Protein backbone atom coordinates (compact mmCIF):
# COMPACT_ATOMS: atom_id res chain seq x y z
CA UNK A 1 0.00 0.00 0.00
CA UNK A 2 1.20 3.46 -0.87
CA UNK A 3 -1.29 5.74 0.92
CA UNK A 4 0.44 8.94 -0.20
CA UNK A 5 0.39 7.86 -3.85
CA UNK A 6 -3.03 6.21 -3.54
CA UNK A 7 -1.86 2.97 -5.10
CA UNK A 8 -2.24 -0.62 -4.07
CA UNK A 9 0.21 -3.24 -5.28
CA UNK A 10 -1.61 -6.52 -5.83
CA UNK A 11 0.14 -9.87 -6.32
CA UNK A 12 -1.59 -13.06 -7.40
CA UNK A 13 -0.22 -15.64 -4.96
CA UNK A 14 -0.79 -18.49 -7.44
CA UNK A 15 0.85 -16.98 -10.53
CA UNK A 16 3.13 -14.37 -8.95
CA UNK A 17 1.76 -11.78 -11.38
CA UNK A 18 1.75 -8.24 -9.97
CA UNK A 19 -0.37 -5.19 -10.70
CA UNK A 20 -0.37 -1.66 -9.34
CA UNK A 21 -3.81 -0.05 -9.00
CA UNK A 22 -4.65 3.59 -8.36
CA UNK A 23 -7.54 4.21 -5.98
CA UNK A 24 -9.66 7.07 -4.68
CA UNK A 25 -11.32 4.98 -1.97
CA UNK A 26 -9.96 1.63 -0.90
CA UNK A 27 -11.97 -1.09 0.79
CA UNK A 28 -9.93 -4.25 1.27
CA UNK A 29 -11.96 -7.40 1.85
CA UNK A 30 -10.10 -10.50 3.02
CA UNK A 31 -10.94 -13.89 1.52
CA UNK A 32 -14.03 -15.35 3.14
CA UNK A 33 -14.60 -18.97 4.01
CA UNK A 34 -16.63 -21.16 6.29
CA UNK A 35 -15.04 -22.50 9.50
CA UNK A 36 -12.72 -25.48 9.06
CA UNK A 37 -15.09 -27.82 10.94
CA UNK A 38 -17.83 -27.01 8.40
CA UNK A 39 -15.51 -27.43 5.42
CA UNK A 40 -14.69 -30.93 6.71
CA UNK A 41 -18.34 -32.08 6.39
CA UNK A 42 -20.18 -33.09 3.25
CA UNK A 43 -22.50 -30.05 3.49
CA UNK A 44 -20.50 -27.82 1.10
CA UNK A 45 -20.76 -28.39 -2.64
CA UNK A 46 -17.99 -30.53 -4.12
CA UNK A 47 -15.08 -28.32 -5.07
CA UNK A 48 -16.29 -25.28 -3.09
CA UNK A 49 -12.99 -23.88 -1.77
CA UNK A 50 -14.85 -21.63 0.66
CA UNK A 51 -16.58 -24.58 2.28
CA UNK A 52 -19.96 -22.86 2.48
CA UNK A 53 -23.11 -24.93 3.00
CA UNK A 54 -24.67 -25.77 -0.37
CA UNK A 55 -28.11 -24.14 -0.21
CA UNK A 56 -30.76 -23.01 -2.61
CA UNK A 57 -29.81 -19.34 -2.73
CA UNK A 58 -33.41 -18.20 -2.47
CA UNK A 59 -34.95 -20.59 0.07
CA UNK A 60 -31.75 -21.22 2.11
CA UNK A 61 -32.53 -24.95 2.27
CA UNK A 62 -29.74 -27.44 1.56
CA UNK A 63 -29.76 -28.78 -1.99
CA UNK A 64 -29.10 -32.43 -1.03
CA UNK A 65 -30.25 -32.60 2.59
CA UNK A 66 -33.76 -31.15 3.00
CA UNK A 67 -33.50 -31.14 6.80
CA UNK A 68 -30.47 -28.79 6.71
CA UNK A 69 -30.78 -25.02 6.43
CA UNK A 70 -28.09 -22.35 6.47
CA UNK A 71 -27.74 -18.59 6.50
CA UNK A 72 -25.20 -15.89 7.20
CA UNK A 73 -21.49 -16.61 7.02
CA UNK A 74 -22.02 -20.36 6.63
CA UNK A 75 -24.43 -20.29 3.67
CA UNK A 76 -23.33 -20.70 0.08
CA UNK A 77 -25.22 -17.64 -1.14
CA UNK A 78 -23.96 -15.18 -3.74
CA UNK A 79 -24.35 -12.08 -1.59
CA UNK A 80 -21.61 -10.31 0.33
CA UNK A 81 -21.40 -11.72 3.84
CA UNK A 82 -22.60 -9.10 6.32
CA UNK A 83 -24.73 -8.81 9.42
CA UNK A 84 -27.17 -6.74 7.38
CA UNK A 85 -27.81 -9.60 4.96
CA UNK A 86 -28.65 -11.79 7.92
CA UNK A 87 -31.65 -9.54 8.68
CA UNK A 88 -33.29 -10.54 5.40
CA UNK A 89 -32.15 -14.16 5.54
CA UNK A 90 -33.55 -14.91 9.01
CA UNK A 91 -37.07 -13.97 7.94
CA UNK A 92 -36.87 -16.11 4.82
CA UNK A 93 -35.40 -19.11 6.62
CA UNK A 94 -37.82 -18.92 9.56
CA UNK A 95 -40.92 -18.72 7.34
CA UNK A 96 -39.68 -21.44 4.98
CA UNK A 97 -38.73 -23.75 7.84
CA UNK A 98 -42.21 -23.45 9.33
CA UNK A 99 -43.74 -24.09 5.89
CA UNK A 100 -41.52 -27.15 5.33
CA UNK A 101 -42.45 -28.61 8.71
CA UNK A 102 -46.12 -28.27 7.75
CA UNK A 103 -45.52 -29.83 4.31
CA UNK A 104 -46.30 -26.58 2.52
CA UNK A 105 -44.40 -24.96 -0.36
CA UNK A 106 -41.49 -22.66 0.41
CA UNK A 107 -42.83 -19.29 -0.67
CA UNK A 108 -40.27 -16.91 0.87
CA UNK A 109 -37.28 -15.98 -1.30
CA UNK A 110 -34.03 -14.33 -0.30
CA UNK A 111 -33.14 -11.65 -2.84
CA UNK A 112 -29.38 -11.38 -2.26
CA UNK A 113 -29.61 -8.19 -0.20
CA UNK A 114 -26.57 -7.01 1.72
CA UNK A 115 -25.45 -3.82 3.40
CA UNK A 116 -21.98 -2.65 4.30
CA UNK A 117 -21.46 0.33 6.59
CA UNK A 118 -18.38 2.32 5.59
CA UNK A 119 -16.96 4.63 8.23
CA UNK A 120 -16.04 7.82 6.42
CA UNK A 121 -14.86 9.93 9.36
CA UNK A 122 -14.78 9.79 13.15
CA UNK A 123 -18.54 10.35 13.29
CA UNK A 124 -20.04 9.64 9.86
CA UNK A 125 -20.99 6.45 8.06
CA UNK A 126 -22.29 5.55 4.62
CA UNK A 127 -24.53 2.52 4.21
CA UNK A 128 -23.95 0.75 0.91
CA UNK A 129 -27.05 -1.40 0.31
CA UNK A 130 -26.98 -3.68 -2.71
CA UNK A 131 -28.03 -7.06 -4.08
CA UNK A 132 -25.80 -9.98 -5.02
CA UNK A 133 -24.98 -8.33 -8.36
CA UNK A 134 -23.96 -5.07 -6.59
CA UNK A 135 -27.00 -3.16 -7.81
CA UNK A 136 -28.28 -0.55 -5.33
CA UNK A 137 -31.05 -1.91 -3.09
CA UNK A 138 -32.06 0.75 -0.56
CA UNK A 139 -34.46 -0.44 2.14
CA UNK A 140 -35.80 2.97 3.14
CA UNK A 141 -37.38 4.71 0.13
CA UNK A 142 -36.25 8.27 -0.53
CA UNK A 143 -33.60 8.18 2.22
CA UNK A 144 -30.14 8.50 0.63
CA UNK A 145 -28.20 6.05 2.81
CA UNK A 146 -25.27 6.37 0.38
CA UNK A 147 -24.64 9.90 1.72
CA UNK A 148 -22.39 10.07 4.76
CA UNK A 149 -24.18 11.20 7.88
CA UNK A 150 -23.84 11.42 11.63
CA UNK A 151 -27.23 9.76 12.02
CA UNK A 152 -25.94 6.70 10.13
CA UNK A 153 -22.94 6.63 12.44
CA UNK A 154 -25.19 6.66 15.54
CA UNK A 155 -27.42 3.96 14.02
CA UNK A 156 -24.41 1.77 13.20
CA UNK A 157 -22.69 2.30 16.56
CA UNK A 158 -25.62 2.33 18.99
CA UNK A 159 -28.72 0.86 17.38
CA UNK A 160 -27.53 -1.95 15.09
CA UNK A 161 -25.85 -4.01 17.83
CA UNK A 162 -29.14 -4.03 19.77
CA UNK A 163 -31.13 -4.81 16.63
CA UNK A 164 -28.72 -7.60 15.70
CA UNK A 165 -28.71 -9.39 19.08
CA UNK A 166 -32.32 -8.78 20.10
CA UNK A 167 -34.23 -8.82 16.82
CA UNK A 168 -32.28 -10.17 13.82
CA UNK A 169 -30.96 -13.32 15.49
CA UNK A 170 -34.48 -14.04 16.73
CA UNK A 171 -36.01 -13.54 13.27
CA UNK A 172 -37.95 -10.46 14.30
CA UNK A 173 -36.29 -7.68 12.32
How confident is the model at residue 94, as a pLDDT? 92
Q: Where are the alpha helices (DSSP H) in the chain?
A: 36-39, 83-101, 150-154, 160-166
φ, ψ dihedrals at 98, nearest 5°: -60, -45
- Does the pTM surpass 0.85? The reply is no
Can you give the residue ranges of every domain in the chain? 7-170
CATH class name, domain 7-170: alpha beta
What is the separation, in whole angstroms, between the first and last Cα of the chain?
39
Residue 125: exposure state from Cβ atoms within 10 A (0-12, 13-18, ≥19): buried
71-118 per-position pLDDT tens digit: 998 999 998 888 788 888 998 999 999 999 999 999 999 999 998 888
How confident is the model at residue 108, as a pLDDT? 97
Residue spans of the chain under pLDDT 70: none
How many of the other CB atoms lie within 10 Å of CB of 73? Answer: 16
| Contacts of residue 111, Cβ cutoff 8 Å, sequence gap at least 6 | 58, 88, 131, 137
Amino acid sequence: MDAAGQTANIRNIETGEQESLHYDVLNAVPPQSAPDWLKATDLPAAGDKGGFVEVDRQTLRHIRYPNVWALGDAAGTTNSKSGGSLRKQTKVLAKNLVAARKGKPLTRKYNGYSVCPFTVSRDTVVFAEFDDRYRPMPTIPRVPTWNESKLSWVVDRDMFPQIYWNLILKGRA
